[in-house]
């Protein structure tokens, strides 16, 4: 059984798309990081989205729903949010506030280290974990105002390079976080299957299995001297079944909604953001949109987030589930293994779904 990091092994990136800028040493926005307004709009069109107000947000406060997991109608509310938005915020999710705060604090400590120390754990060109730019960097004409740290399972190999004298606390917290996030992701998957009327026989046997895949991405968006011309994280959809994001109390995350344009996802102190990724879009036969999202930056507040990506085992074959196909009568996607889809996405980004259209 292959692992997620193995699935990324042959998808190598050149070093300039891995090594982040030394943000502490720059006083102005370098040209390499100065985006034209149109850079991300062009990109959005390449995702074959049309319509929508592109720049201004006129949604009159409309945003993704905030759902209480303990609400007796949670299944219906979550299902409808997946259909209408491909995202929602979740309260009473059962993950302790203390764990989330400790993980955020570890992320802050990590990103506050001098660049020389962080690059000791630089992701290798063929590697999947460690410190670096976002993997999607090569698809955009400019670099993002962002640095990340990717974890798949135990981070101890990478953490020891940064803290040779002790990284146990960091490692224990990241492992505990993944363990708890996995339970929540499985619970959400069951709820969403129930909403889709997926029967027990059809119920996919990998949910709850030990080889389902999970990864954590710590994200940092440093203070930016010219925030309007910079981009924190360029528009993308996640290559997961679903993603659970904790965002710090700094605004920046936006989702793209047909007809509304870019809609902010306001930080809510006790909520986690849940995004539908490409794999649920495929399984639901496009009944759920995989939400396009991006992150903006600001001048005065460094922003942090912690994303947990959940998916089936890499060898699992993903295809529209019969119950969802019935509603639409024809399967819109061919079958692909998770590993194959990761490869297609790594080469085509927003074009990946069109390439597996039936």
Ligand X SMILES: O=C(O)CCC(=O)C(=O)O
Catalytic residue positions, numbered: 303
15, 131 contact by CB (below 8 A): no
- Interaction mask 307-336, ligand X, x per CB under 6 A: x-----------------------------
Q: Which of 245, 279, 338, 353 binds ligand X (CB under 6 A)?
A: 245
User: Nearer Cβ to Fe ion, position 163 or 341?
Assistant: 341
The helix (run of H) or strand (run of E) holding residue 254 is strand 253-257
User: Nearer Cβ to ligand J5X, position 63 or 275?
Assistant: 275
The number of beta carbons lying within 10 Å of the beta carbon of residue 276 is 27
User: Nearer Cβ to ligand J5X, position 134 or 255?
Assistant: 134
Is 158 near Fe ion (CB under 5 A)? no
Is 238 near Fe ion (CB under 5 A)? yes
End-to-end Cα separation, the chain, in angstroms:
28
Positions in the binding site for ligand J5X (CB under 6 A): 134-136, 148, 150, 215, 217, 236, 238-240, 309
Is 133 near ligand X (CB under 6 A)? no
Q: What residues contact 151, with CB distance under 8 A and at least 6 apart?
A: 129, 158, 174, 178, 215, 216, 217, 218
- Interaction mask 187-226, ligand X, x per CB under 6 A: ------------------------------x-x-------
User: Nearer Cβ to ligand X, position 233 or 242?
Assistant: 233
Distance CA 288, CA 352 (A): 16
- Pick one of Fe ion, ligand J5X, ligand X, none as the site partner of residue 135 (Cβ within 5 to 8 A by kind): ligand J5X
Distance CA 52, CA 55 (A): 9
Is 233 near ligand X (CB under 6 A)? yes
274, 87 contact by CB (below 8 A): yes
Q: Interface with ligand X by CB under 6 A: which residues?
A: 217, 219, 233, 238, 245, 247, 253, 293, 295, 305, 307
Q: Interface with Fe ion by CB under 5 A: which residues?
A: 238
């Amino acid at each position: 059984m292959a692992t997620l990091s193995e699935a990324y092994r042959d998808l190598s990136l050149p070093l300039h798309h891995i090594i982040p800028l030394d943000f502490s040493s720059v006083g102005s926005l370098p040209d390499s990081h100065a985006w034209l307004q149109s850079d991300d709009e062009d990109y959005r069109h390449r995702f074959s989205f049309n319509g929508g107000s592109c720049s201004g947000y006129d949604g009159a406060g409309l945003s993704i729903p905030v759902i209480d997991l303990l609400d007796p109608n949670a299944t219906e509310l979550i299902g409808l949010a997946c259909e209408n938005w491909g995202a929602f915020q979740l309260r009473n999710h059962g993950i302790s506030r203390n764990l989330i705060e400790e993980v955020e604090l570890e992320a802050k400590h990590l990103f506050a280290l001098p660049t020389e120390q962080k690059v000791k754990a630089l992701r290798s060109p063929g590697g999947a974990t460690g410190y670096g730019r976002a993997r999607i960097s090569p698809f955009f004409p400019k670099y993002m105002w962002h640095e990340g740290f990717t974890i798949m399972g135990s981070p101890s190999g990478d953490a020891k390079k940064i803290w040779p004298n002790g990284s146990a606390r960091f490692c224990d917290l990241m492992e505990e976080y993944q363990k708890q996030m996995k339970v929540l992701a499985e619970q959400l998957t069951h709820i969403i299957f129930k909403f889709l009327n997926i029967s027990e026989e059809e119920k996919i046997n990998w949910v709850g299995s030990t080889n389902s895949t999970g990864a954590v991405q710590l994200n940092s968006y440093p203070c930016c001297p010219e925030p309007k011309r910079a981009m924190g994280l360029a528009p993308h959809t996640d290559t997961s079944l679903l993603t659970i994001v904790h965002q710090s109390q700094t605004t920046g995350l936006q989702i793209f909604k047909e007809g509304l344009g870019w809609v902010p996802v306001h930080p809510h102190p006790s909520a986690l953001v849940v995004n539908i990724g490409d794999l649920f879009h495929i399984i639901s036969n496009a009944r759920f949109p995989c939400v396009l999202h991006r992150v903006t930056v600001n001048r005065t507040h460094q922003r942090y987030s912690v994303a947990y990506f959940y998916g089936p085992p890499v060898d699992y074959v993903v295809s529209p589930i019969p119950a969802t196909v019935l509603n639409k009568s024809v399967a819109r996607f061919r079958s692909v293994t998770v590993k194959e889809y990761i490869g297609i996405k790594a080469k085509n980004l927003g074009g990946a779904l069109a390439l597996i259209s039936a």
